[in-house]
Amino acid sequence: MINGVVPYIDISLEGVKKARSLLTRTAILEDYEDDDTPNNTPNNQRHRAIGCAVCDEFIIGTEQLCSISRDQLLAHKDRLGVESYAEFHGEMDEILQKQYEISGLEGILLSRRFGRDNAKQFTVCSRCKEALKNDCITNKSPPKYAIANGFAIGTIPDMIEFESADAEQRSTKTVIEHRDGDGNITQIKESKIT
């Protein structure tokens, strides 16, 4: 307040919108036709986090967004592929492999959360972009944080099918909690998984 008068301050809402988008790093979902999010939310309120298709990590804050072409990924197939994973970390389960497969780039381990089937461009973090430069094609090992470098963890399936009742019984664990009069746990007994 100057001499009893409140000065007028011009605030640009565009600057606020840009700051919010930089800090939250989301994209409005109307850009993604094949999204499986329920459609009961207005398009301008539906957001998707942005992340790296190579290392499957979120790109947050002011970290630089980079882009890589489908052709660049194919050039590094020997480093990002299932064979590279097998060479450095052992054979990969077929179900896990399918969880990291994108149509058009079969055999390359990429994030299904952040990569789209048959896309021509992919968003990647600056570390993966640097590791996938053209002069790195001759490297044998996968990029440090890539899924192909042992970071393939996958997701738990909705349903687990067992080949026999015996296998199902052997894969379960029984937990018995003993509580005192106040409801506090005093002892936990667990059966072993065999």
Entry pTM: 0.65
CB 87 within 8 A of CB 72: no
Q: Determine phi and psi for 122, rounding to 5 degrees.
A: -130, 145
Per-residue pLDDT of the chain in tens (194 residues, 90 and over written 9): 567 777 766 666 777 777 776 666 666 665 444 455 455 555 556 667 889 999 999 988 778 889 999 999 999 999 999 999 999 989 998 889 999 999 999 999 999 989 889 999 999 999 999 999 988 888 888 999 999 999 988 887 777 777 777 665 566 666 677 778 787 777 666 665 54
pLDDT for res 32: 47
Largest Cα–Cα separation, the chain: 85
Q: Which helix (H) or strand (E) holds 98?
A: helix 94-99
Give the integer Cα–Cα distance in Å for 48 and 35: 9
**Tokens 């640009």 appear where?**
12
